[in-house]
A and B are shown apart, each in its own frame.
Chain A
Amino acid sequence: MPVENKSTVTRPVVYTIRGCDSCVKLVKKFEAEGVDFEERRVELSQVTLEEARGYGSLVPIVVWPDGRVEQGFGDSIGCFI
């Protein structure tokens, strides 16, 4: 399911592929900083993959509670999905 109405979302949703270096780096960064986030792994489910494609073409994708969407992380572009 898509990220819920932003008024009900209190933490970022992060779409990842665990074989993607940029995704792993972002998850580690959030964990190190104590960011409370929900990880949705797109490599495990076509439904989750399609959900992520609704937000962008590259993982990691972060959907913030205020509706902002960010793709990619760090010094590489991430992985096309």
Chain B
Amino acid sequence: MPAITSVVTAARFAQGFTYADFVAQAAVNQDKFVANGKTVPLGEQDVAFLRKAAAHPRGPAKMLALAEAWCGDVYRELPTAARIAEATGMELRVFLRDQNLDIMDEFLSNDGKSRAIPVFVFYTKEFEYLTHWTERSASAHAGLAAAMKEAKEKLSLPPSATFATLPDKDRQALLLELVARVRPFTDQWRRDAIQEISQLLANALSIPNAG
């Protein structure tokens, strides 16, 4: 949850990168941002709802993103944030996590232990906090957990095995199995992320989530 007194002010927000500038300054993965920007799974109903939310008197007018270009979750999901901003007129500013830890630490995940990215934070035009979304969809987290369970079963590893306890050979086999199992689902997880963001905004504004 964000701090009661946030470090995010109008002046600070204005210091963030525009999306175009963020991509331009990225040392890596510019091609991924461009490619994923062309395949954002934002449907007409999604756009209709998000525009309705943005038009609400207390609706989102500003979106702050915490990101780093090297992160796979960022190059998958940040183009979606850019498309939402473009479709709704929200102002998007992107902050590098590792240079803005004071902002990041307002939005920790995993019971305050993780600085997971991306984070998309929605504010009203007066910078009243509305809601935020972090890292990847719940379906992606669940899918990773299920893939881990299945991979352990296939490799005849005990359910209690962790990366920390497995011998190197088994750990490598488990990683390869896990990666192969999750890869087919990443497009669905991107669609699910849009649904989650929409639902978070619907909850924050007490409006139905439907186009």
The answer, yes or no, to whether A57 is at the interface (CB within 8 Å) is yes
Of B8-16, B35-43, B78-86, B164-172, the one touching chain A:
B164-172
Is A74 in contact with B163, judged by CB distance below 8 angstroms? yes
Closest Cβ neighbor of A45 among chain B residues? B27
Known: A17-B70, A19-B97, A81-B72. A70 touches B28 (CB 8 A): no
> Which residues from 154 to 199 on chain B have a C-beta closer than 8 Å to any C-beta of chain A?
162-164, 168, 171-172, 175-176, 178-179
The answer, yes or no, to whether B91 is at the interface (CB within 8 Å) is no
Using a CB–CB cutoff of 8 Å, the interface residues on chain A facing chain B are 17-19, 42-46, 49, 56-58, 69-77, 79-81
Using a CB–CB cutoff of 8 Å, the interface residues on chain B facing chain A are 27-30, 68-73, 97-98, 162-164, 168, 171-172, 175-176, 178-179
Is B28 in contact with A45, judged by CB distance below 8 angstroms? yes
Is A77 in contact with B163, judged by CB distance below 8 angstroms? yes
Q: Which residues of A contact B71 (CB under 8 A)?
A: 19, 79-80
Give the docked Cα–Cα distance between A67 and B120 (Å): 41
Q: Which residues of A contact B68 (CB under 8 A)?
A: 19, 43
Contact among A17, A44, A71, A76 with B172 in the assembled complex (CB-CB below 8 Å): A71
Closest Cβ neighbor of B179 among chain A residues? A57
Is A75 in contact with B164, judged by CB distance below 8 angstroms? yes
Q: Which residues of A contact B168 (CB under 8 A)?
A: 70
Q: Which residues of B contact A69 (CB under 8 A)?
A: 172
Give the docked Cα–Cα distance between A46 and B31 (Å): 10
